[in-house]
Amino acid sequence: MPTTMRWLGHGSWSLETGGHKVLLDPFLDDSPSAPCKAADVEAEFVLVSHGHFDHVADAASIATRCDATVVSNFEVCEWLQKKGVKSAQPMNLGGGIDLPFGRVQLTLAHHSSVMPDGAYGGNPGGFLLTLDDGKIYFACDTALFYDMKLIGAAGIDLAVLPIGDRFTMGPADAVEAVKLIGPKRVLPAHYNTWPPIEQDAQAWAARVKAETKAEPLVIEPGATVTL
Ligand code: NI
Ligand code: MN
């Protein structure tokens, strides 16, 4: 079975890979664009990129209900454990760990990270997943940075980049990011959740097609992509 990725809107993704269920940045119950609620998803692992509410919102409730392991930076893991999460795999930037579904590396992200209650949320990150059938790079919330070129050197099959602007890279910088990373395929995320991050994803995809070798995939929340 190839890896599948379902977009749950905003920065939230649900992966099925090698018989394992992996959730990234679950923000469902209060998200205007989520196709389902937190109670509807299953996970064995919940990856959290940073402490902002639109990434951690439903992490504790889902991880607790599903007995899932949270994978995040040390501070986010500690905060979620105080909320009742039993199992965590704390990491820090540049570090990687081998999990039953593949290798997870916490990559740089230029952003901020504070927990919803004001607690320190450590450094924000992205995730590089090395799975049986390919490599996926989730940039998560970040500005454009030149070291994306180093991440791309790993050979990325699928990159997920924010294009919303204002809080993260916008469309123009996300095109530059595609040039640095050189993924085979690229998906936009973190846009059209609210009016301040409204973007024309099709126009962005046209630029990616014209200016890079990557194949852009524009999908709606709820849709699934196969690696
Ligand atoms: Ni953020
Ligand atoms: Mn965000």
Expressed in angstroms and rounded, the spacing between residue 98 Cα and the centre of ligand 2 is 26
> If pLDDT is split at 50, 70 and 90, which confidence band does 192 have?
very high
- Contact between 149 and 180 (Cβ < 8 Å): yes
Expressed in angstroms and rounded, the spacing between residue 6 Cα and the centre of ligand 1 is 20
Domain count, the chain: 1
Which CATH number is 151's domain given?
A: 3.60.15.10
Which letter does DSSP use for residue 98 in this model?
E
Residue 38 lies in a domain: yes
Question: What are the tens digits of pLDDT across the range 181-190?
Answer: 999 999 999 9
Residue 225 lies in a domain: no
Residue 119 lies in a domain: yes
Expressed in angstroms and rounded, the spacing between residue 121 Cα and the centre of ligand 1 is 11
Neighbour count for residue 112 (Cβ, 10 Å): 13
> If pLDDT is split at 50, 70 and 90, which confidence band does 19 have?
very high
Question: What are the tens digits of pLDDT across the range 74-114?
Answer: 999 999 999 999 999 999 999 999 999 999 999 999 999 99
> Domain range for residue 9?
4-220
> Which ligand is closest in space to the CA of residue 51?
1
